[in-house]
Each structure stands twice: as structure tokens, then as C-alpha cells.
Amino acid sequence: MNQERVGNEQQVYFYDTYALYSIALGRENYAKFSKGYRIVTTIMNLYELYYNLIKEGEYKLAEEFVNRLISSCIEITSEDIKHASKFRLENTKKDISFIDALGYAIALNLDIKFLTGDEQFRNFKNVEFVKE
């Protein structure tokens, strides 16, 4: 999978939970990523997004975004788990979460950018780093 879809001008990114949360809350720096991009994520990111939104009392928004994004979830493979585990172990000092390590490994495997604002990823290759 290339970042540019064949026959379509739509760019493809792996959206981590930070990016999804920022979009859900309407944060300005993520506005351009809320439309016109193909979202790739996992059910684990939706789990984390839903939790963070309901923690803030945003129950309706949590339901809306999970329903909207469920079709953007891709399958997590055993190879993804292996790559994510190795990546996380190699970067122990950065304290990268399991879900973020998994998303980054998937993005690398799919050869698409990993969209995040998490500081741990600021200088990693294949990352579109957007801070609020």
C-alpha cells in the first residue's frame, strides 16, 4: 500500500489515538486531516479513543467517532505484533505505549505515514508529527 492511492488523489495515513482524539475535539492543527485523507487505524486505537472521550464526558462524541471509524480499522496480524514488540523493546527509554508501537509498526509495514503528536515520535522516520 503506497501513501498515494492509485487512481485517487487521497493520501493515506495511519492515525494514532492522539491524532484521532485531536480531530474528534476539533483541534485546529488537525483540521486538515479530518477530511480528504484515507484513515487507517486499528480497533485498539478506537478502544483508546473511546476511553479518552468518555473519560472527558464526551459520550455522544465517543459513539459518533467509533461508529464513523470502525470501517477504517485494519486487521492486526501476528507479524505486526512481532514488529511492534521489537520496536518497543528497542525504544524502551522512550516509554512508547503498546498501542502506539503497534500502530507505528503497522504504518511502516504498509509504507504509509504515522500521524501523531506524541513527543516520543517527533524524530522518527515515516512520521507526520503535528503538535497542537
In a domain, 5, yes or no: no
In terms of DSSP bridges, do strands 127-129 and 113-116 run parallel, antiparallel, or are they unpaired?
A: parallel
pLDDT at res. 10: 78
* pLDDT band (50, 70, 90) for residue 9: low
* pLDDT band (50, 70, 90) for residue 22: very high
Q: Which among 106, 107, 85 has a CA at the least distance from the CA of 97?
A: 85
In a domain, 2, yes or no: no
> Is pLDDT of 129 > 60?
yes
- Considering its fold, how many domains does the chain have in total? 1
| Structural domain span for residue 103 | 11-129
In a domain, 1, yes or no: no
- Can you give the CATH number for the domain in which 48 is found? 3.40.50.1010
> Is pLDDT of 96 > 70?
yes
Contacts of 97 (CB under 8 A, 6+ apart): none
Please give the model's pTM, rounded to 2 decimal places.
0.91
In a domain, 3, yes or no: no
